[in-house]
Amino acid sequence: MNDVRRQESHRCQTRRVTATDSALALEQLYADFAANDLIPLWTVRGDLMPTAPRPSAAAHVWRWSDVYPLAVRAGALVPVGRGGERRAISFANPALGGHPYATPTLWAAVQYLGPNEVAPAHRHSQSAFRFVLDGQGVWTIVDGDPVAMRRGDLLLTPGWRWHEHHNTADAAMVWLDGLDIPLVSALDAGFFEFGPEEVSDRSTPVTSRSERLWGHPGLRPLGEAEPDRASPLMAYRWEHTDAALDAQLAVAASGHPSRLARGHAAIRYTNPSSGGDALATIRMEMHRLAPGATTAATQSVGSSVWQVFAGEGTITMADRSVDVGHGDVVSIPSWCPLTISARSALDLFMFSDAPVYEALGLAAPRGGST
Amino acid sequence: MNDVRRQESHRCQTRRVTATDSALALEQLYADFAANDLIPLWTVRGDLMPTAPRPSAAAHVWRWSDVYPLAVRAGALVPVGRGGERRAISFANPALGGHPYATPTLWAAVQYLGPNEVAPAHRHSQSAFRFVLDGQGVWTIVDGDPVAMRRGDLLLTPGWRWHEHHNTADAAMVWLDGLDIPLVSALDAGFFEFGPEEVSDRSTPVTSRSERLWGHPGLRPLGEAEPDRASPLMAYRWEHTDAALDAQLAVAASGHPSRLARGHAAIRYTNPSSGGDALATIRMEMHRLAPGATTAATQSVGSSVWQVFAGEGTITMADRSVDVGHGDVVSIPSWCPLTISARSALDLFMFSDAPVYEALGLAAPRGGST
Amino acid sequence: MNDVRRQESHRCQTRRVTATDSALALEQLYADFAANDLIPLWTVRGDLMPTAPRPSAAAHVWRWSDVYPLAVRAGALVPVGRGGERRAISFANPALGGHPYATPTLWAAVQYLGPNEVAPAHRHSQSAFRFVLDGQGVWTIVDGDPVAMRRGDLLLTPGWRWHEHHNTADAAMVWLDGLDIPLVSALDAGFFEFGPEEVSDRSTPVTSRSERLWGHPGLRPLGEAEPDRASPLMAYRWEHTDAALDAQLAVAASGHPSRLARGHAAIRYTNPSSGGDALATIRMEMHRLAPGATTAATQSVGSSVWQVFAGEGTITMADRSVDVGHGDVVSIPSWCPLTISARSALDLFMFSDAPVYEALGLAAPRGGST
Amino acid sequence: MNDVRRQESHRCQTRRVTATDSALALEQLYADFAANDLIPLWTVRGDLMPTAPRPSAAAHVWRWSDVYPLAVRAGALVPVGRGGERRAISFANPALGGHPYATPTLWAAVQYLGPNEVAPAHRHSQSAFRFVLDGQGVWTIVDGDPVAMRRGDLLLTPGWRWHEHHNTADAAMVWLDGLDIPLVSALDAGFFEFGPEEVSDRSTPVTSRSERLWGHPGLRPLGEAEPDRASPLMAYRWEHTDAALDAQLAVAASGHPSRLARGHAAIRYTNPSSGGDALATIRMEMHRLAPGATTAATQSVGSSVWQVFAGEGTITMADRSVDVGHGDVVSIPSWCPLTISARSALDLFMFSDAPVYEALGLAAPRGGST
């Protein structure tokens, strides 16, 4: 019995000793990893490679009733100056650790330009658009082409084009800016250059040169050079968008089959020279829901930002439903289930990073293959 | 000496005999080639492979003043019936040996539809367009979508779509048909099917469903299935074409650089879902010349057909210049030098086989490489 | 009664008169059409637009036992000279009206080069390949790169590359030439240029420069300029083709699913820089059937030419079956049903115009859409 | 005077009061921004949008003499288990804040598999490759196809393919793993699934099925389904890579022009079905420098990782030069100037994120346009 006890004790002791040695060896190994800038996969695998996307970004709603007054106050207190460049206030996803990003790839901001103010010329690799919730009177000059900004319009500034804005009106103007700043930053691909202080062209044509050349349905101007990947059309006017959405609903109502849910119409803003997305890294769309209509439920790889242009409805993000109205902005992270329903007629502007995933073969849920 | 002489004589005789034998052997060889369905390259190489294209097709002008009265007479004498299907009179290039082809790849015809007449439904692999010189009142129904035909409009019937025409007016209507019949015939790729006798839809909407869905500049309807290679837009309206050409001239006049000659504007009809040609095998364009303007001289691989829509000018084909006016039709063979100048403001509709050459790497003068 | 009779008679007379007038009017109309280079569709529609392809070309077999001796006789009687350029004897489809074409788009010929003979340098828009049934000893020099020709090899001469052949052996060599001459001729797209008389490089490397740079599976040489549409690889060696076909049969036999019939393997010769067809206008493939195997029945839009490389089998074209063996050449017109079965192990080289139809959206039976 | 003084004093006081008010108002504005998840651009613009890429990642060198012994120690102490999945030790760029990433988009790790060990099956959206510095005896089974791993080979595991590794040898094996984990993580696009514990196929063929079907230069197997975007070829063998590099140097030495510097050869591993990069998100290349040769200086948008396969040389990153030898790993951040020179014959394996930038139009320095 003593022997047995001793043996057991010995065994226990051995175990303890071995455990201690092994633990020490492991501890030393991990210390040596750290000292050599190495990290073992097995300690981090689950976080690195979840079974489905676990975005840190949150589904989040910003209320226009909160945002707009703050933009007005900024207009009174903060000049538009060289360096800061723009009086733009970014929607900062609260789950992204203090970064001024709406989602991990998309920047969204409200830009405020007071009466007769000027935002001076610069250019950058980042692609940008402006969507006008209300108002008019600002011209954005893109590579020398003055483009009027009016309610409901989508205006483009593809990467590396000079652009500046000036307000010709006695009233301030506010709009939504969207850019691929977070994506370009994550990829370390950004270049930036300051332009002249003075506005290059103070003319205020109703129609930009890009529209006069490229804004006719299905017609390509032969005098123009082959466009690069971004759209050569700098303005998509509300009158066309509105008419297209109305027509879609009417055509579907007359019995023509649609891939969208009943009472749901949508257009994508495209590059007329390729039929693809108007910007290489940002998809832009306008959605219209008839009163009472509900979209089909979606769950996409990639993130999006929505702004209510007109009407009232409910956005359901996973388990949470939020009532939204004019100007409210919503961020939808990757793989978040989404449904939208309309209480009144509801128009929503949407932009997303979908072209990035499609270009990289990452758009299909799960596989790298589509 | 006798021996020598005899020898020489023998030699001569031998030579003669050998020559004769060889000639006979060659003759027999060629006969055996023929008997075995073989043809030696060296007897045909120069014709097969000229140093530059030597098209059999001619540069040719058909006068509207000749063609139109004949179409009217056909309207009085020939019914539109099953089998013949269409009262279409083709422009037969006089150098193409009696084939009803404007060029080796392109079919052009004037189609005449009397008051209240119907051209019944059929479909075929061949792609077609209609260009309206004058008049209105006919609807062409493409896969169930009634499309109004009006002056200056371009209407499409991509391959294998059901189509039928009916005239709702009290006046006859005449238009230009263009198809890839010769190409599809040379390629043995044609299929054809008769449809019902009765008009499928007698409604007369001002705007077709295809226009309501796809006819907004840069806007893609998300409810629609992915289009195939041909354009989903069945009508390109004159009002847009006219405005686009005017704008181009005005923009160029204001100093914007153009790749075209001074006073020359041109649009290509494109597929809004791809930015490419509206039909896979036929390019269609409208050209406008300001009074006194002249196009840059061109010499292209591939053939084209031009019709004067409005105005008067001069077409120079190689060494020959012809004055042309309203409705005149001109065929330009491959590699034929071409210049056009305008006496008055001049609008010309053009269609060509250029997409074929681009798709096959044969567009560049000389090489298979571009 | 008289009145009635008179009326009837009048009517009859009127009818008769009208009929006569109408017939005369119609006759005159047709004469006027002809005088004005116009042809009415309704008199030709059925031939122009058949319900399915009705190729004039015939399914036809040329026997190697007939062809080869004729090539040898031509070698003895006809020099290779400037102008004729090549001692090539073309397979002339008996239904193509005396044209030296195997099908409406494809040229096939047997080329014979005697001991130490030279076929001097030229270049042309037409794309060409050579397939070697037997023998070796000839080098073809493509843009300065000497390429050895050996049994079972496929050698390319893409459009507009200089090429010349010289035989280094004491024996004649015979091979199959394939070109897109009929297609390029129908399209009036051909250019041709004579090169120097003298062979540019008499070196006889086992491996061409193009193979040394581009002939490694999946590896792209970064030092090379971006290739144009044709393959940068000028030689596809039999040892690779043979191994690939054997491997396919073995892998399928081990249970891996195949899209081909049991006992059928096939490879397509591709451009390693794009994965597409090695030539823009010609598809080339090698097929292998195990003894007793039969291909799935096919019926394609577009034509092809087959040559038996090794073994014996039966080719069934529509209702007709023909036994074929080493060197026999068969032309298959568009839309002709085709099945091949093997009596012994059977290897067949095939070339076709399929890339043309795919590029133009005409490959799918019936529609222009795929 | 009193009035004046009072006025001035008043003015000053007013100013002071206003200044204070304004500062307070601004402070309150910023607080309200923060409370509403908003961030003003003008406080962060310079960091967000630098004038040229300012990557946080460092140019960094890991010494094989440090890494390899740690891998061996991990082999002795840490089992390969479910959950952790692989005994992979990642190269953690010291400037990336503790993330196990070599660059912001690329994961690199050394994987160690002991004698007879198994790394069990799993699959994930992330694409992976393995590059073998030394040794052999492991088979990686990709979607059921056992692929041998040998010195100098590149092996692929495209996204969402099942894969498992097992070591058949009595010796451990070590290799380099590369994945797009950081990119897929930044994009919230990752999916992961565990497979069975047991090895699916313990056979050890010298050649994988993928090689037997797709590993023949320029030959495409017709029995196979159309591949998706990733390469269907799972193994690129050293014998081919080595021969290709030798041939390039020899061909260049014989006078053929090269785009690379003198004495520099390089191949890219491509997808034989498309000619593009073998993986949609990762470029892989092997570079060879003759003794004494130096690469042209480059400065690219996007990051890369290099491993010395054989030989000794010097890598110059911006102003810093480092001598490197067998197995050393170097990370190069975006826009970092890079030159490599060889002391002995030098072979370097390289992988980068270049396909991402090319797909998104961000590859060109500065502009979004290329």
pLDDT tens, residue by residue, A113-159: 999 999 999 999 999 999 999 999 999 999 999 999 999 999 999 99
Chain D neighbours among A 288-307 (CB < 8 Å)? Answer: 301-303
Say if CB D97 and CB D107 are below 8 A apart.
no
What is the least distance, in Å, from the CA of B368 to any CA of chain C? 4
Q: Which two tokens stand for residue A93?
A: 């996803």
Q: What confidence tens digit (pLDDT) does each residue in C51-62 have? A: 999 999 999 999
How confident is the model at residue C8, as a pLDDT?
A: 39
How confident is the model at residue A7, as a pLDDT?
A: 42
Q: How confident is the model over A163-191, as a mean pLDDT?
A: 97
pLDDT band at residue A82, thresholds of 50, 70 and 90?
confident
Q: Which two tokens stand for residue B19?
A: 């020559």
Q: What confidence tens digit (pLDDT) does each residue in A218-250 have? A: 999 999 998 988 999 999 999 999 999 999 999
Q: Is a pLDDT exceeding 80 seen at residue A8?
A: no
Any bridge partners for residue A136, and if so which? A150
Q: How confident is the model over B206-234, as a mean pLDDT?
A: 96
Q: What confidence tens digit (pLDDT) does each residue in D27-69 have? A: 999 999 999 999 999 999 888 999 999 999 999 999 999 999 9
User: Considering only alpha carbons, which residue of chain C is nearest residue B190?
Assistant: C53
How confident is the model at residue C19, as a pLDDT?
A: 60
Give the number of other Cβ atoms within 10 Å of residue D47's Cβ: 10
Q: C360, B185: Cβ pair inside 8 Å?
A: no
Q: What confidence tens digit (pLDDT) does each residue in C205-255 have? A: 999 999 999 999 999 999 999 898 899 999 999 999 999 999 999 999 999
pLDDT band at residue C296, thresholds of 50, 70 and 90?
very high
Q: Is a pLDDT exceeding 50 seen at residue A3?
A: no
pLDDT band at residue D261, thresholds of 50, 70 and 90?
very high
Q: Is a pLDDT exceeding 90 seen at residue D9?
A: no
pLDDT band at residue D19, thresholds of 50, 70 and 90?
low
pTM for the model: 0.94
How confident is the model at residue C366, as a pLDDT?
A: 79
Mean pLDDT of chain C: 93
CA angle, C291 then C268 then D284, to 5° = 125
How confident is the model at residue D83, as a pLDDT?
A: 82
* Greatest extent of chain D over all pairs of C-alpha atoms, in Å: 107
Q: C222, D268: Cβ pair inside 8 Å?
A: yes
How confident is the model at residue D1, as a pLDDT?
A: 38
Q: Is a pLDDT exceeding 60 seen at residue D8?
A: no
Q: How far is CA D155 from the centre of its chain?
A: 15
Q: How confident is the model over D121-139, as a mean pLDDT?
A: 97
Q: Is a pLDDT exceeding 60 seen at residue A10?
A: no
Q: Is a pLDDT exceeding 60 seen at residue C3?
A: no
What is the least distance, in Å, from the CA of D226 to any CA of chain C? 10
How confident is the model at residue C243, as a pLDDT?
A: 98
pLDDT band at residue A15, thresholds of 50, 70 and 90?
very low
Question: What single string gives the DSSP state of each residue in B159-178?
Answer: TT--EEEEE-SSS-EEEEEE
Q: Is a pLDDT exceeding 80 seen at residue A5?
A: no
The pairs formed by B92-98 with CB atoms below 8 angstroms and a separation of 24 or more are B92/C37, B92/C38, B92/C39, B93/B57, B93/B58, B93/B60, B93/B331, B93/C37, B94/B58, B94/B60, B94/C37, B95/B56, B95/B57, B95/B58, B95/B60, B96/B56, B96/B57, B97/B56, B98/C39
Q: A83, D46: Cβ pair inside 8 Å?
A: yes
Mean pLDDT of chain D: 93
Mean pLDDT of chain B: 93
Please give the single-letter amino acid code of residue A349.
F
Chain C residues near residue D248 by CB distance under 8 angstroms: 212-213, 221, 223
Q: What confidence tens digit (pLDDT) does each residue in A146-170 have? A: 999 999 999 999 999 999 999 999 9
Q: Is a pLDDT exceeding 80 seen at residue B131?
A: yes
Q: Is a pLDDT exceeding 70 seen at residue D369?
A: no
Q: How far apart are CA D8 and CA B170, in angstroms?
A: 90
- Which has the closest alpha carbon to B90: B78, B81, B82, B98? B98
How confident is the model at residue B367, as a pLDDT?
A: 62
How confident is the model at residue A18, as a pLDDT?
A: 60
Chain A neighbours among B 223-282 (CB < 8 Å)? Answer: 223-225, 231, 233, 236, 240-241, 243-244, 247-248, 250-252, 256, 258-260, 264-275, 278
Q: Which two tokens stand for residue B331?
A: 């065929």
Q: D272, C224: Cβ pair inside 8 Å?
A: no
Q: How far is CA A288 from the centre of its chain?
A: 19
Q: How far apart are CA B128 and CA B111, in angstroms?
A: 12
Q: How confident is the model over A297-311, as a mean pLDDT?
A: 98
pLDDT band at residue B1, thresholds of 50, 70 and 90?
very low
Q: Is the torsion defined by CA of C93, C99, C104, C110 positive or negative?
A: positive
Nearest by CB to residue C209, choosing from D220, D251, D285, is D251
Q: How confident is the model over C334-358, as a mean pLDDT?
A: 98
Chain D residues near residue C304 by CB distance under 8 angstroms: none
How confident is the model at residue C141, as a pLDDT?
A: 98
Three-state DSSP state, D275 = coil
Q: Is a pLDDT exceeding 70 seen at residue A87?
A: yes
- Which has the closest alpha carbon to C338: C354, C308, C317, C319? C317
Please state, for a pLDDT cut of 70, what percent of chain C lies above it.
94
Q: Which two tokens stand for residue C151?
A: 């049994």
Nearest by CB to residue A368, choosing from D57, D192, D230, is D230
Chain D residues near residue C222 by CB distance under 8 angstroms: 259-260, 265-268, 285
pLDDT band at residue B83, thresholds of 50, 70 and 90?
confident
Q: How far apart are CA B107 and CA B352, in angstroms?
A: 10
How confident is the model at residue B365, as a pLDDT?
A: 82
pLDDT band at residue D281, thresholds of 50, 70 and 90?
very high
Q: Is a pLDDT exceeding 50 seen at residue D228?
A: yes
How confident is the model at residue D18, as a pLDDT?
A: 61
Q: Is a pLDDT exceeding 80 seen at residue D13?
A: no
Q: What confidence tens digit (pLDDT) does each residue in B260-270 have? A: 999 999 999 99
Contact between chain D and chain B (3 or more Cβ pairs less than 8 Å apart): no
Q: What confidence tens digit (pLDDT) does each residue in B236-257 have? A: 999 999 999 999 999 999 999 9
> Which H or E element spans position D29?
helix D2-35
Q: How confident is the model over B165-187, as a mean pLDDT?
A: 97
Q: How confident is the model over B335-350, as a mean pLDDT?
A: 98
What is the least distance, in Å, from the CA of D65 to any CA of chain C? 31
